[in-house]
Amino acid sequence: MATNRNESRHRALAAELEAMIEGGAFRAGERLPSTRVLARSKGASVATVMQAYESLAERGLVEIRARSGYYVRGRVRAARKEERREHATLPPEIIAVSDLVFSVLEQIRDRQVVPLGSAFPSPAYFPLPRLAQDLARAARRMDPWRTVEDLSPGSRELRQQVAKRYALHGVSTAPEEVVITSGALEALNLCLASVARAGDVVVLESPAFYGALQAVERLGLRAVEVRTDPVEGLDLGELDGAIRRHPVRACWLMPNLQNPLGATMPEAKRRELVRLLARHGVALVEDDVYAELGFGEPIPPAKAFDEKGLVLHCGSFSKSLAPGYRVGWCLPGRFRQAVERAKLMTSIATSVPAQEGIAEYLRQGGYDRHLRRLRRHFRDNAAKLRAAVLAGFPEGTRVSRPEGGYFTWLDLPRGVDAMTLHRRAVREGISIAPGPIFTASDRFAGGLRLNHGHPWDERMEKAVARLGKLARALD
């Protein structure tokens, strides 16, 4: 009985501490009360407090530092204080993603905030009224049995339409190979979970889409970040080295219009990437959500060169047609059954009317016309954003030349800190995406992702000028 009371005692205390950490009473990197102080204030034994701390440490919430005490586990902000280390020779890291990502995501929901930090293009660019009509027609006509039959892997019609788009991009596939998901993020997460298990090592780009960092953290994987060139993408030499040094099970990469850099791997390099991974039996989760947004000739995705079924290609309609419908898909190669089952086990199916509505839109035609218009908007906005940055930002600022999509990447001059700029910009109602949200390392302190996926107007013009001024003040 006594043991049981003790056990419930330290568990209650751990829950209380956890709630305080979650509620923000103690922040990442902060020191927690000493066992003695806490024991006194709670009328508990030191042993009980230690057990509570240890259980939180086991769960990754608290860090025990020898001869120093208990700390809220360091997130990105804390990690940045570490000394600079060599690329790719880093040991695989247990990743803890910053609250920062969530705060950046939160800001962009406020229409009053200038959405330069947004991860989404403007909803105004999408054919939502036409989609609403197609959705209405599909829903009215829908055979009630579809609600059972369209469970994972998804609507037959939509999978046919997706297979057709693949054909246009140089990938020959059958509808049976496609699994429909609730957006690409679900597809990516299901694919990663199907090829790697807790403790496994995966390769990410550096910088990487923060969703990949979060997935790695959530699944308890270890990550190796590999240098990524702003123009040609991932460094294959470093990748090869990483695979030789670590037991890499999978990569999560964006060979096309990489987020945040905008890098686009040339065709020959994509082919070489697939060959390299196949040689080592490493799976590739290919995030290709910007497949339809390239300004030039489309390059086939890595999936086009996949002979062994090791590439799990993920796409979405959210960035090119129907934001908010949450319809994406994947082509999981040899892991299809595992992905299909993972989908059945976690969300059963993707919203049936949303699937049928998009299938109806694609059947009716007009998607390519819409895409041409969308890309033209993005290209025009990118040029204007670039000009405004070059005019207003401090000398030495480097600006990417996007070949598609709606992100521009900036490298601020040495010494100008993107996090400081972010904090000052937020106060003036301007959101930006600072470099540190794209890595678990201490890199990209001077990196900045700006969104050119919103109509360019006076407000944008002014916001960029204001940002430039804030950055110059930090120079």
Q: Quote the tokens at residue 209.
A: 């889409």
Give Cβ neighbours of residue 328 (< 8 Å, ≥ 6 apart).
180, 181, 182, 183, 184, 185, 186, 187, 289, 314, 315, 316, 317, 318
> Which is closer to a copy of itself, CB of 149 or CB of 229?
149
* Least separation in angstroms between CB 88 and a copy of itself: 16
The answer to whether 6 contacts a copy of itself (rule: CB under 8 A) is no
Residue 229 has phi, psi (to 5 degrees) of -75, 140
From CA 274, how far away is CA 276, in angstroms rounded? 5
Give Cβ neighbours of residue 15 (< 8 Å, ≥ 6 apart).
none
> Which is closer to a copy of itself, CB of 413 or CB of 429?
429
From CA 34, how far away is CA 27, in angstroms rounded? 16
* Least separation in angstroms between CB 448 and a copy of itself: 21
The pairing of beta strand 62-65 with beta strand 233-234: unpaired
- Which of 57, 94, 139, 236 contacts a copy of itself by CB under 8 A? 139
3-state helix, strand, coil in the chain (%, to 5): 50, 15, 40
From CA 410, how far away is CA 444, in angstroms rounded? 10
* Least separation in angstroms between CB 143 and a copy of itself: 9
> Which is closer to a copy of itself, CB of 22 or CB of 368?
22
- Which of 207, 301, 357, 453 contacts a copy of itself by CB under 8 A? 357
Q: Are the beta carbons of 185 and 328 closer than 8 angstroms? A: yes
The piece of 30-38, 210-218, 223-231, 458-466 that touches a copy of itself (CB under 8 A) is: 210-218
How many C-beta neighbours within 10 Å does residue 458 have?
7
Residue 100 has phi, psi (to 5 degrees) of -50, -45
* Least separation in angstroms between CB 322 and a copy of itself: 8
The answer to whether 192 contacts a copy of itself (rule: CB under 8 A) is no
DSSP string, 253-287: E--SS-TTT-----HHHHHHHHHHHHHHT-EEEEE
The answer to whether 197 contacts a copy of itself (rule: CB under 8 A) is yes
* Least separation in angstroms between CB 130 and a copy of itself: 11
The answer to whether 176 contacts a copy of itself (rule: CB under 8 A) is no
* Least separation in angstroms between CB 271 and a copy of itself: 19
- Which of 279, 369, 459, 462 contacts a copy of itself by CB under 8 A? 279
Segment 295 to 334, residues that bind a copy of itself, using CB under 8 A: 323-327, 334
Distances (CA, A) of 473 to 66, 95, 460, 464: 41, 33, 20, 14
Segment 97 to 116, residues that bind a copy of itself, using CB under 8 A: 102, 105, 108-109, 111
Q: Are the beta carbons of 434 and 418 closer than 8 angstroms? A: yes
CA-based radius of gyration for the chain: 24
The answer to whether 31 contacts a copy of itself (rule: CB under 8 A) is no
Residue 315, strand partner residues: 329
* Least separation in angstroms between CB 350 and a copy of itself: 7
- Which of 43, 68, 86, 145 contacts a copy of itself by CB under 8 A? 145
How many C-beta neighbours within 10 Å does residue 280 have?
13
- Which of 65, 67, 140, 414 contacts a copy of itself by CB under 8 A? 140
- Which of 126, 317, 393, 406 contacts a copy of itself by CB under 8 A? 126
> Which is closer to a copy of itself, CB of 228 or CB of 350?
350
From CA 413, how far away is CA 432, in angstroms rounded? 17
Count interface residues toward a copy of itself (CB under 8 A): 79
* Least separation in angstroms between CB 288 and a copy of itself: 17
> Which is closer to a copy of itself, CB of 356 or CB of 403?
356
> Which is closer to a copy of itself, CB of 43 or CB of 296?
43
The answer to whether 425 contacts a copy of itself (rule: CB under 8 A) is no
The answer to whether 133 contacts a copy of itself (rule: CB under 8 A) is yes
> Which is closer to a copy of itself, CB of 81 or CB of 140?
140
The amino acid that residue 375 corresponds to is R
- Which of 27, 31, 59, 164 contacts a copy of itself by CB under 8 A? 59
The answer to whether 212 contacts a copy of itself (rule: CB under 8 A) is no
> Which is closer to a copy of itself, CB of 219 or CB of 426?
219
How many C-beta neighbours within 10 Å does residue 266 have?
13
> Which is closer to a copy of itself, CB of 280 or CB of 423?
280
